[in-house]
Amino acid sequence: MRTLRAMAMQKIFAREILDSRGNPTVEVDLHTAKGRFRAAVPSGASTGIYEALELRDGDKARYLGKGVLKAVEHINKTLGPALLEKKLSVVDQEKVDKFMIELDGTENKSKFGANAILGVSLAVCKAGAAEKGVPLYRHIADLAGNPNLVLPVPAFNVINGGSHAGNKLAMQEFMILPVGASSFKEAMRIGAEVYHHLKGVIKAKYGKDATNVGDEGGFAPNILENNEALELLKTAIQAAGYPDKVVIGMDVAASEFYRNGKYDLDFKSPDDPARHITGEKLGELYKSFIKNYPELTRPNHMLSLLRCKLAQSNGWGVMVSHRSGETEDTFIADLVVGLCTGQIKTGAPCRSERLAKYNQLMRIEEALGDKAIFAGRKFRNPQAK
């Protein structure tokens, strides 16, 4: 039995680093007797109204107001010292997280910032795995009460629109999911092949400039009609030879083009209320997508392990997701395997901050060997009987 002293945190230090979009974010180093454990926090371009608050400095003289020195200071001067004084064990994730949330005392974590609390929480989780002498994904599975480990179906965001790209597409993410693959490694190969075929299809139709990529590695052709993007995916899937193995998914992010009770599907152009459509009309558009394409959706931000388990217990599909502003941290790769959600969204098979997660998943599958379970067509609820 290891002593509490051995499992305790010895030092917590935070710093400001840059994410994949050149914006500041929080990185945390946590030290225990086992060594140093580092975690970096991602940041989204589009955020829901119920998301926890990401604390930014607001000082326009630094990084256009997007600095995170306040969040860093909260860790170095308040959260870190309080945790060290409390002498909590790094293997007791729930107690650590509860302590930080109670210390913050706000509903949306606005006192310290969700980016401060999350950075420390991720580092603690990594330290907890090391203390137990198990891989991070196994530690997460233990925390979630999952005896099994499931490799997810990747949802590759291969056409970017909305707030992720400079084109006219209103809807944010157009994805391909290789649900018919037999393993995660094969799913990666299929996804990469469709991605390269898609590049050829876009180049042939719109020219070489149209194959520039957005924040998440997907292509951002300057098209307006969302069904045109879906047609491009359909053509690329056919060209790659995988019509029976790949389905299409979308993350619409409709809150980004919501305007005074209606929706503007050309919101990147000068505002014209005459073209805004009602929620009913938008619903009809969704129905047309579902009718014409093998269309899928995803639940929005769950924010916590408790909410994830609650959703799964009620038969909901849960997707582990990156953010548009990412780092080289691969935590969510281990997270998705441990939580057994069966699906992950972390960009296109392009850009190293996206591939870092996918490559880590291939390593995990390799390490599991014959014990590796790939979600495949059961990706919505891979543990269902």
- Specify the 3-state DSSP secondary structure of 3: coil
Rounded Cα distance, 101 and 53, in Å = 13
Tokens of residue 155, six digits: 């949802």
Paired with 18 in beta bridges are 24
Rounded Cα distance, 167 and 220, in Å = 6
- The CA-CA-CA angle for residues 299, 260, 43, to 5°, reads 45
Angle of the 136-144 helix axis to the 305-313 helix axis, nearest 10: 60
* Beta carbons within 8 Å of 202's beta carbon, 6+ residues apart: 210, 211, 219, 221, 232
Strands 320-321 and 343-345, by their bridges, are: parallel
Residue 207: how many CA atoms within 13 Å on its side-chain side?
3
Q: Which amino acid is at 167?
A: N
Write the DSSP symbol of residue 112.
Answer: T
Rounded Cα distance, 129 and 134, in Å = 5
251 labeled binding residue: yes
- Contact of 43 with 145, CB cutoff 8 Å: no
- Contact of 63 with 52, CB cutoff 8 Å: no
CB atoms within 10 A of CB 360: 20
Tokens of residue 274, six digits: 């005459």
Binding site residues, as ranges? 251
Binding site residues for Mg(2+), as ranges? 251
